[in-house]
Structure 1
Amino acid sequence: MAEISVIEHIHSMQLKWSPTATGQFTSLLHDLILSAKIISRSVTKAGLVDILGGTGNINIQGEQVQKLDDFANSVMIYRMKNCGVVCALGSEEEEELVIIDNAGERGNYVIFFDPLDGSSNIEANVSIGTIFSIYRVDDNTALTKENILRKGSEQVAAGYFLYGPSTMLVYSTGHGVYGFTLDPSVGEFLLSHENIKIPETGKYYSVNAANYDKWAKEDQRAVDMFTHGGYSLRYVGSLVADFHRTLLYGGIYSYPADMKNKNGKLRLLYEANPLSFLMEQAGGLAVNGQGNRILETMPEHVHMRTPFIFGSVREVEKYRSAFG
């Protein structure tokens, strides 16, 4: 089998689906990949250099900022600002949107990202990741919050980098889901998972059962169906790791609203939208606490949260049935 790099794959997909492409997206992806390589290098050295532990700061989410969080955020912002094709960006670590003006010239892409998802697991050497979501805007579109914040169904691409036993890129441009594994010997992400499809049903369910008493009765009833229905519990607590396992093996993941997080805990723009885009492209489902499609949710603000349930069609429909 030919060893196809991610850039070669993007080029072939553009020839097939977007023959008039300008090359801006390829440029954006190139800088995303470079960012991930730099972050991956630091993640693998985290126990050897002074990059573990917290900075002592609290981010906009009210969470302790880890040193690697801060590093990954700085890398992503620098690369996205200087790649020349991004006109606005949003980071989970930043309070407001960042509008980019490169000497009067602007790119046509908006990107949202979680620079280092699962960072609370860093010191336990658990798989963590970078999640990204990309939208396209026209040259004459004013860069206002109203024009930038759009439904997830309008994404032109989404994906994540997984930093684990190997570093992977999983992405979609709306024509299937593809996985690439970083080969350190050549420094390239090579195609390793072609046209990923989630199984229609699975044997695993993933949920933080410690919050059970804080959920609504409907969510308790839904999870009970899996707990007592022959499913095995698998929960890492690192969203990218839990998503990746569910994508490959099937089953269901649920993070419902609870008494403390009445609107849910996971972020719509930085986590739920990009992962829902991938899940649907792979043939699965992704819904909110009312059982509605995540990708049809109109964001109210840049750090909006949502309940998040995704996985194989059969399991998500089973979860929905608990709501009557």
Structure 2
Amino acid sequence: MAQPQALADYLENHADIPANLGDVVLAMCEVGKSMARMISRGALEGAMGAAVGDNTDGDVQKALDVIADEMFFAALLPTDVKWYASEEREDVIACNPNGSLALATDPLDGSSNIDVNVSIGTIFSIYDAKPDANESFLRPGTEQVAAGYIIYGPQTGLMVTFGNGTLSFILDPDLGEFVLLNGAVKVPETSNEFSINASNYRHWSKPVRAYIDDCLAGETGPRGKNFNMRWVASLVAEAHRIITRGGIFLYP
């Protein structure tokens, strides 16, 4: 069996990925390893799911949200990240004043699921930094230089793109490294799954209701086949399932 390729080796062997950008992703993954260990210990680490306030979006902020944010920021200080934007902070803050990159993150997406042992994750997006902090982020997604997420579940995985295809890595607990699983990830073209919070049906627009009603009608309906509904309430988990098995996620 071939030796799995570690993330650091992959980045070193691909000259098209700038070293400073690779270093940022490696720093995120080092924290991801620590997060995976903490999450796997659950209540042994203390009350990680305890509410400690509200974040900038008005969501309940959990203890582990704050811990994750502080850990990622500290890990990025020695890197080329100039601006750091986090869902857990009110404003964009300076990281490395001499940096050339801007990183936005949700340090722990789906933290409401901490206490019930459901997959959660870290989302990140990286741009070339501009002199102004806010202008570094308020721009089209097509200007991203890298983006991805770390998912903490039965396995800890990394899904990342540097602008030319999508790469899938898995954390090998024996090696203590993220190793390459798939260097050319493709979303399946067809699926019989959709994901939506059906409890909000009364609030949906008519087109959304019509689409879901057609899916629920099954093989006797206009779409001519049966569908399964999934809902995890964790964007990373929903996205990972869709990338792996296809389908659609809606949050109207």
Unaligned runs of at least 5 residues, structure 2: 219-225
In 2, the alpha carbon distance for the partners of 1:144 and 1:246 equals 33
The 8 Å contact of residues 54 and 64 in structure 1, kept in 2 or not, is answered as no
Deviation at 1:201, TM superposition (A): 1.1
The 8 Å contact of residues 80 and 96 in structure 2, kept in 1 or not, is answered as no
Aligned to 2:11: 10
- 1:259-313 residue CA offsets vs partner (Å, 9 max, x unmatched): xxxxxxxxxxxxxxxxxxxxxxxxxxxxxxxxxxxxxxxxxxxxxxxxxxxxxxx
- 1:223-266 residue CA offsets vs partner (Å, 9 max, x unmatched): 2122223111111111111111111111111112xxxxxxxxxx
Question: Of 169, 173, 178, which aligns to 1:184?
Answer: 173
Q: Which SS does the other structure have where 2:82 is aligned?
A: strand
In 2, the alpha carbon distance for the partners of 1:170 and 1:144 equals 26
In 1, the alpha carbon distance for the partners of 2:137 and 2:71 equals 22
Equivalent residue runs for 1:299-318 within 5 Å = none
Question: Of 79, 88, 99, which aligns to 1:84?
Answer: 79
Aligned to 2:159: 170
1:34 aligns with 2:26: no
1:130 aligns with 2:126: no
In 2, the alpha carbon distance for the partners of 1:87 and 1:114 equals 17
Unaligned runs of at least 5 residues, structure 1: 257-324
Q: Which SS does the other structure have where 1:48 is aligned?
A: helix
One-letter code aligned to 1:54: A
**Aligned Cα root-mean-square deviation (Å):** 1.5
Aligned to 2:65: 69
Aligned to 2:198: 209
- 1:100-149 residue CA offsets vs partner (Å, 9 max, x unmatched): 344xxx11110000000000011000000000001113xxx422423442
Q: Which SS does the other structure have where 2:242 is aligned?
A: helix
Quote the sequence identity (%).
36
The 8 Å contact of residues 27 and 83 in structure 1, kept in 2 or not, is answered as no
In 2, the alpha carbon distance for the partners of 1:84 and 1:191 equals 23
One-letter code aligned to 2:60: Q
Which 4+ runs in 1 deviate beyond 4 A?
none
The 8 Å contact of residues 81 and 96 in structure 2, kept in 1 or not, is answered as no
In 2, the alpha carbon distance for the partners of 1:183 and 1:41 equals 12
One-letter code aligned to 2:81: V
One-letter code aligned to 2:99: G
TM-score (structure 2 length as normaliser): 0.92
Q: Which SS does the other structure have where 2:43 is aligned?
A: coil
The 8 Å contact of residues 99 and 143 in structure 1, kept in 2 or not, is answered as no
